[in-house]
Amino acid sequence: MLRTVVSGLALAAMLGGAALAETFEVQMLNKGADGGRMVFEPAFIHAQPGDTIKFIAANKGHNAELNKGMMPAGAEGFKGKINEEIEVTLDAEGIYGVICKPHFAMGMVMTIAVGDAEVPENFFEGRVPQKAKERFEAQLANLATN
C-alpha cells in the first residue's frame, strides 16, 4: 500500500511540472486587428522555459521560422512549412526572433522572450530589412514592461 502511495505521489510530481507549462497560440495573418499588414498576433510573447508556441496558419502564404542568429545559445531552430501549423516547445532562456520567410522584408516578425531574457548585443547582426528591424525594436520594448 505504501509503495502504491509513494509511486502515485512521484507520478503526480512529474506530471505537475508539465501541467504548469503554458501553450500560446499565434495567428499568422495578412491583416491584423490594428490594420497592420503581414503580422503575427500576438507579435510579442513572454514565455517560460518549457512553454509551447503554436503557430496557426490563419491566412495562406505564411510560415514561422527562427531567423538565423536571433536565438539563444543552445536553442534549437525551427522552420515551419508554408500554410502549415507548427508547434514548438522552447526550453532555452533568451530572445527568439521569429520571421515569416516570404514576408520578412514586409516586417512580418515576432519576438519571444523566454524566462529572464535580455536582448543580446548581436541580435541585429546579419541582414534584417528596415521594416522588420522597426517591428522587432517595437516588440523588444515590451521587455521593459513585462
State the CATH number of the domain containing residue 52.
2.60.40.420
Residue 31 located in a structural domain:
yes
Residue 139 located in a structural domain:
yes
Q: How many domains does the chain have?
A: 1
Task: State yes or no: 106 annotated in a binding site.
Answer: no
pTM for the model: 0.85
Residue 94 located in a structural domain:
yes
Residue 9 located in a structural domain:
no
Residue 79 located in a structural domain:
yes
114: left (phi over 0), alpha (psi -120 to 50) or beta: beta
- DSSP state for residue 79 in the 8-state scheme: B
Residue 122 located in a structural domain:
yes
Task: State yes or no: 62 annotated in a binding site.
Answer: yes
Q: Note down pLDDT in tens along the chain; length 146 residues.
A: 545 544 444 444 455 445 588 999 999 999 999 999 999 999 999 999 999 999 999 999 999 999 988 999 989 999 999 999 999 999 999 999 999 999 999 999 999 999 998 999 999 998 999 999 999 999 999 887 76
Task: State yes or no: 70 annotated in a binding site.
Answer: no
Domain residues for 102? 22-144
Residue 106 located in a structural domain:
yes
